[in-house]
Structure 1
């Protein structure tokens, strides 16, 4: 299908469009995690299969800290428990995909800022392997870039979604390029990847969280769009759009949920109360999809929605 793009849409415009539509939200659930002491589990992935079991990767961290770990959880009687013998990585915000038959797992590594005292810098790191215990590092993205994502395209090529900040990306804009193989993914390529046009105003930002190759070869992007309000509070909304990897054309973003669609819960800080961080989307044959999300940097929730990618497959 041909992807149509209008002018850039702000968070306010996207929110108004979402609120004008009939809600498809169903079955809101707060996921229960155990086995990590008093720490929070949030910014989870959707469930995926590895080593013969279904796991969720989640960000595990104390309420008063940004220093987190990625743990892998399996479900037992409605509670998610750490998978016995699974590795633990000192990273934030896990994500996964499968490329050429291997699990590719990524997360955000934080480290001391090279020039600012008592400040942190971050980068996206990738591991791959046939099983959780064989995941070995294979690529580290540029400093100061989160939301770097890879996907195996229908052609067998690798799609690369970037999110530079600063001179090129402001507060954070999404770029797209493609390469022949994982070996061609370099820091230079990531830095040179062109931005998608007319997607964010400079005062707002966003990123890709999870990529779905659709049945016609388009890439469905589950992401987030975010802004500050006048009080300095953050607002993060889960959104989707589609990209044609042959042409680079992309559709408008649209919101698929807002914080009020999920159950009430706790927040890491007051300014994060309206944060929904897209974790993953589980698509079902009946036309529904489960959206897994981190809520207010403190909890992990799920809602069922109408599959937002179906219309791109028509």
Structure 2
């Protein structure tokens, strides 16, 4: 399938398009968490099944800290509580997928910079197992790379979404490559993955948060696009695009949610008020989808939106 690609669209252009389209999300709600000592829970995954129960992974963190743990929560009435007996991980921004029948779980690991005092570095780490209780680390990504994602494709090969920064990726651009199996996942493969063309201007950045295999074999990418304003405040928007794993072609980015679509609430810092960090998308048979997101680096919310991937499965532009 040929995916039509236009000009590079800035955050401002995408916001204009989103407002004119007037496709407003509905049913916003806050997820309530307990059992974490009063800490914030944000940048959650969508719910996924583990041992017959729906589980959400969430970033648990004090308001004045960047040092977080990921816990796994189950729903008890209207509240999500840590599931007894499951491990926690010293990670940020959890994610999951399934490959060859196994659960793949990961997040961002931060650690002290080896030469610069009071500076941190980060990398994406991956675990796998038959369930959450059996997770074992199997891969550590390149230093300095967040938003590294995997997806199993129709032919059982693995799509790899990358996000280099610096000389290759600037503030952060999305790359893609394909490998026959997890055994072929290496640092070299990730670092050599070509960037997807024409997605971000150099002053802005983005990343993939979750990948969906669409019915026609395309990859539906849920992600974020972000920018700074003149005051240094960050603006993060939830976006999607489709990617053809056979050709590397991708569609234009389109916004699916902005901060104003969600309920009002606190922010971790004053520069993080306008932040929506895409967590996960649950597609539903009625043509809608539930978007789970971290809001203002302080809480987790869910909204219902028109399924943003249907148009790509129908072959629309």
TM-score, scaled relative to structure 2 = 0.98
Q: How many residues are matched?
A: 314
Q: Secondary structure at the match of 1:260?
A: helix
Shift of 1:52: 1.3
Q: Within 5 A, what are the aligned runs for 1:1-314?
A: 1-314=1-314
Q: Secondary structure at the match of 2:150?
A: strand
Q: Secondary structure at the match of 2:19?
A: helix
Extract structure 1 runs of 4+ deviating beyond 2 A: none
Shift of 1:205: 0.2
Shift of 1:146: 0.2
Measured in 1, the distance between the counterparts of 2:261 and 2:35 equals 28
Q: Secondary structure at the match of 1:255?
A: strand
Q: Would you say the 8 A contact 2:24–2:261 is kept in 1?
A: no
Q: Secondary structure at the match of 1:232?
A: coil
- 1:196-252 per-residue CA deviation (whole Å, 9 max, x = no partner) reads 011100000000000000000000000000000000000000000000001000000
Shift of 1:115: 2.1
Q: Would you say the 8 A contact 2:42–2:299 is kept in 1?
A: yes
Shift of 1:23: 2.5
Q: Would you say the 8 A contact 2:43–2:59 is kept in 1?
A: yes
Q: Secondary structure at the match of 1:12?
A: helix
Measured in 1, the distance between the counterparts of 2:85 and 2:133 equals 8
| 17-26 or 223-232: bigger deviation | 17-26
- 1:91-121 per-residue CA deviation (whole Å, 9 max, x = no partner) reads 0000000001000001000000122110000
Q: Structure 2 regions of 5+ residues with no counterpart? A: none
Shift of 1:22: 1.9
Shift of 1:42: 0.1
- 1:149-178 per-residue CA deviation (whole Å, 9 max, x = no partner) reads 000011100000000000000000000000
Measured in 2, the distance between the counterparts of 1:275 and 1:206 equals 13
Measured in 1, the distance between the counterparts of 2:7 and 2:187 equals 30
- 1:246-279 per-residue CA deviation (whole Å, 9 max, x = no partner) reads 1000000000010000000100000000000000
Measured in 2, the distance between the counterparts of 1:97 and 1:224 equals 18
Superposition CA RMSD, Å = 0.6
Q: Structure 1 regions of 5+ residues with no counterpart? A: none
TM-score, scaled relative to structure 1 = 0.99
Q: Secondary structure at the match of 2:257?
A: coil
Shift of 1:24: 3.3
